[in-house]
Chains A and B, each alone.
Chain A
């Protein structure tokens, strides 16, 4: 494993450097942590650090390299590059002298989860401020050295020059030989956006080159010396109890080292990966389980939700009281359980050595995972280090944390051996926590001047966040072991009603939420409740527009004062055209009512004879404030639209009384090339504004735009996802 800068040991260079500048860092004595999985000694020498002692955002080493340090995780969203760009810009250093250290409880700060499109707004801002601080500090040093005022200094490619004497000094010379620690004051001036050279540009991601060259990049590519391989035997249904298992049969499989049976948690560990796979196949047939059938089934799911959910709690009420009756129109929208469906099933490695546990994981939150593992093993957090290594795209809370818990538990029983847990495809499909089913009941009244004056939404949903924030009951291993931890539900806040409040200017709005405890495990899936809520909201706006006899785009504009919202819509019309034919659908939202604005047009064509439709094109206009990396925004938005189109047109987790039956890509199909639409993304850049999270903005609007386009093309209003062609009334079409 040569040349893996991605995994290279940053701490080591830190230690070797004769001097360095760290910003916002309270120094930790004798910091000898080493990361990078090519370094076998990692876990023996690491001091386990915690949030208090690790407080650095950027570091300048004596070799002139700038390290950006973030607690956020690379998930394929390109956050590494965007954060490096922000730091390099503020300091005026070239991109090739910047590197980045991501999510690692041994090296980076506790930034909780990489979620909610919050990394640029959170980590990005901190790194930008730290870089500005570093620049100010270095310029003060340079002023002394060049005997001039800071005002006379300029920086280019890491070289500071005095405009008076034309003398220069490099950052490297300023740092060398000294040990500088600077606290963030929050007072350092930021660069003027007008002078940006890197921010806003389509800087290519260096990790894509590593992937294309088949370098070891993913957690799945980690190979540690002496590593052993584990497979987990999951029960058939969520609450099955293990009755018996024929241990002797497994012991006979060549290569099997150990069979672990801890309550309902069963795993096999082998010296070779294929031996573990084979043993798992045998286990599947010889383990006997006692399973209670699932009570709520797909055919009665939505009714059950409405019957059993809690009484409504008002989450928003504004602009006067919403009437109890006299609505112009009402409609009920339904969304089934949907999967994250990562292409690479979850994986983790655990190593228990010298009284320290190291877990390599593609979790979205290394610190919360550490806390949860500490709960699971009843072991202090400072004996655990969780190191983030990218996996396949996760799009929210998938099996990553659970696999981390599995690896931690198994590693404790194999001292000195790295234990690699790889979930099988079926494990990921059956056990990941899905995006919850939802029922959205919407009512609206059109008052004077064809304007909506009352709006009422009632949401019914299970939780959109059951991440393990320290509670081992949120890990599968924690729930399956002999002394199980209990799952504490109650994460209903926020996620379920995200984007349910219309951004439009209606005089009276009321949103209420009913909590439902569903039959399937659920948690955060890209955009959480916003996907279902915007699907309902923007479908209903369309319905009201048709009722009012108004053009759907014009109708929305008459209800919108927000200038930026209006501009994404008018730009969409300019770029993609509107009112040109049959099968056009439109939708708009500002993600979380606080992040990126996005308008989308969907175009569908129908084949009446074959009773099918084709989504031909999706065009988005996005305003994410100040653009950091334009190509990153285009990539995320186009990908978000295609993924949302897949959810919307095809996806539904199938289950019956024996449990989840969507166990393969055949029983849970997702969009393939033959159905993928053309996409087009236009960005409205606002360099003077704050950058806004963009990665989830397309999910909801895309769903509604497709539904609206289907209505436009066929006259059928589809209110239940997925929008499969059999739900269209083909007789209606002239």
Chain B
């Protein structure tokens, strides 16, 4: 049943013995012990488990680990470069854009994907890009400010 899956996550190639049907989320959280992607619904309806597949934000809770192996996977855990947090992470901290913070992974990863394509998104575009990700604490307005701040930071760096 188990197969050897070769998968590149956060720039590193891993060989993992696993059930090929197992959703990517379980491989990331359990086999690779990453904390970024979170379990929220398991059926692509909440965005808690968001990762980047070749730079695009996608839920990781349904896609089988074996099929995800064709992509380069990036998680929140892998955004920091040379010991420095990504500007999006910095912006979320500076704006204190969390209450419980459980949604933050999905928000940051979706923002990352948006800002890679659109350096200067409008409020409307931010809302659209983040619409997939649920926040129950009602932190939305701060999250929008954080994404705008991240855009400004990226422009200046």
Contacts and interface: CB of A to CB of B under 8 A. Distances in A.
A214 B134 contact: no
Interface stretch (A98-106, A351-359, A662-670): A662-670
Nearest to B100: A76
B134 A343 contact: yes
Interface in B21-35: 22-23, 26, 29-30, 33-35
Given A642-B141, A643-B138, A672-B131, A665 B41 contact: yes
Interface string A338-352: 000111110000000
Interface residues of A, number: 62
Given A213-B85, A674-B128, A665 B46 contact: yes
A214 B85 CA distance: 11
A646 B140 CA distance: 12
B35 A214 contact: yes
Given A208-B101, A217-B101, A665-B45, A639 B138 contact: yes
Contacts of A523: none
A6 interface: no
- Size bracket of the B interface: 35 or more
A275 B39 CA distance: 16
Interface string B105-137: 100100000000000000000111011011111
B102 A343 contact: yes
B98 to A, nearest CB: 5
Contacts of B92: 208, 212
Given A274-B26, A392-B136, A208 B40 contact: no
B80 interface: yes
B143 to A, nearest CB: 8
A624 to B, nearest CB: 16
A424 B45 CA distance: 13
Interface string B69-84: 0000001110010000
Contacts of A272: 30
Nearest to B18: A274
B136 A395 contact: yes
A207 B102 CA distance: 12
B102 A676 contact: no
Interface of B: 1-2, 18-19, 22-23, 26, 29-30, 33-36, 38-43, 45-46, 48, 75-77, 80, 85, 89, 92-93, 96-105, 108, 126-128, 130-131, 133-142, 144
Given A218-B102, A274-B30, A642-B140, 18 more contacts: A76-B102, A205-B96, A211-B101, A212-B101, A212-B108, A213-B80, A214-B35, A215-B35, A220-B38, A223-B33, A343-B134, A392-B100, A392-B136, A635-B142, A642-B141, A671-B138, A671-B140, A673-B144
Interface of A: 75-78, 204-205, 207-209, 211-218, 220-221, 223, 254, 272-275, 277-278, 341-345, 390-393, 395, 422, 424-425, 631, 635-636, 638-643, 645-646, 664-666, 670-674, 676, 678-679
